[in-house]
Structure 1
Amino acid sequence: MKEIGFAPVELTHAGANGPLRHLANVAVLHWHGEGFELPDGAELLATTAVANQAFAVGSRVLGLQFHAEADTSHEFEAWLIGHSAELAAAGIDPRQIRADAREHGPALREAGRAVFAEWLSQIAGPDTYA
């Protein structure tokens, strides 16, 4: 169940009304071969056709399967080199991911920063969901 490359996530109602809303219509970086079941008490925030992608437990716990933190302008080439065998085994051309990073990276960087800034500002206060 490898999911490697840039693609948007589908936000649930809860995801669209929280910090992840900044990722609406933004291609995020997926780079995983695993999935997860929702932990007890968690609320699903985002999915793809392949797997659950994000959840929250209250306002202080945020779990992400994708890489909203990816900065494709710095050190991204190291990901491609370091995972070249994994990419080859999955039949993924690193040239395509490199091109997609140039196309989607700036929007992802801006949206990812907005997600984490909002989430960090909300965890500084009382847990509104607990």
Structure 2
Amino acid sequence: MGAQLIAAAMGSGVYPGGSKEIGWGAVDLSAAGADSPLAAMTTPVLHWHGDTFDLPAGAAHLASTPACKNQAFAAGSRVLGLQFHAEVPAEAIESRLIGHAHEIEQTPGVSIREIRADTRRHARLLESRSRTFFNSWLDGALA
């Protein structure tokens, strides 16, 4: 699922992005993304990365954000790379905030207070939509 790891394994470059993307925000689906299990992801997702990657050769581009062109891709029906985090339960975010407090403080425009508030607003819906998304993707991958 790690888009950077999969992209590197497929021979694409992975490198520092222009800025860190930390916090909750929407992803913009490409036409291929809207016609994929990612269509279930209509809620803000958790972003937590500073690196980015080149889209692997032959991969379908599925999603982007203004800060990061490559947020998701598929290579066939069994390879899916996600830059954002659809898998993080609400209960796990607090420990991430504590463990990465220094990184958050050093990232312009990002605050622990804002991430906590957004977690309260978005995390439960993300958990529900993520189950729908992952189940749909697995159904297609195992077919």
TM-score (norm 1): 0.91
Percent identity (aligned): 49
Counterpart of 2:122, as a letter, is: H
User: In the alignment, what sits opposite 1:3?
Assistant: 21
- 1:24-60 residue CA offsets vs partner (Å, 9 max, x unmatched): 2x10000000111100110100000111100000111
| Equivalent residue pairs, number | 123
Looking at secondary structure, tell me which structure has more strand per residue. Answer: 2
**Gapped runs of 5+ residues in structure 1?**
126-130
User: In the alignment, what sits opposite 2:105?
Assistant: 88
Q: Which secondary structure state, in structure 1, belongs to the residue aligned with residue 62 of structure 2? A: strand
User: In the alignment, what sits opposite 1:121?
Assistant: 139
User: In the alignment, what sits opposite 1:101?
Assistant: 119
User: In the alignment, what sits opposite 1:79?
Assistant: 96
Kindly report the root-mean-square deviation, in angstroms, between the aligned alpha carbons of the 2 structures: 0.8
Following superposition, which runs of at least 4 residues in structure 1 exceed 2 angstroms of deviation?
none
Q: Which secondary structure state, in structure 1, belongs to the residue aligned with residue 63 of structure 2? A: strand
Structure 1 position 12 matched with structure 2 position 30:
yes
**Cα separation, 2, equivalents of 1:36 and 1:44:** 12
> How far off is 1:75 after superposition?
2.3
User: In the alignment, what sits opposite 1:128?
Assistant: none
Structure 1 position 40 matched with structure 2 position 40:
no
Q: Which secondary structure state, in structure 2, belongs to the residue aligned with residue 2 of structure 1? A: strand
Q: Which secondary structure state, in structure 2, belongs to the residue aligned with residue 67 of structure 1? A: coil
Counterpart of 2:80, as a letter, is: L
Q: Which secondary structure state, in structure 2, belongs to the residue aligned with residue 76 of structure 1? A: helix
TM-score (norm 2): 0.83
When structure 1 is superposed on structure 2, of 62-71 and 87-96 the one drifting more is 87-96
> How far off is 1:67 after superposition?
0.2
**Gapped runs of 5+ residues in structure 2?**
1-18
**Cα separation, 1, equivalents of 2:120 and 2:82:** 22
> How far off is 1:7 after superposition?
0.6
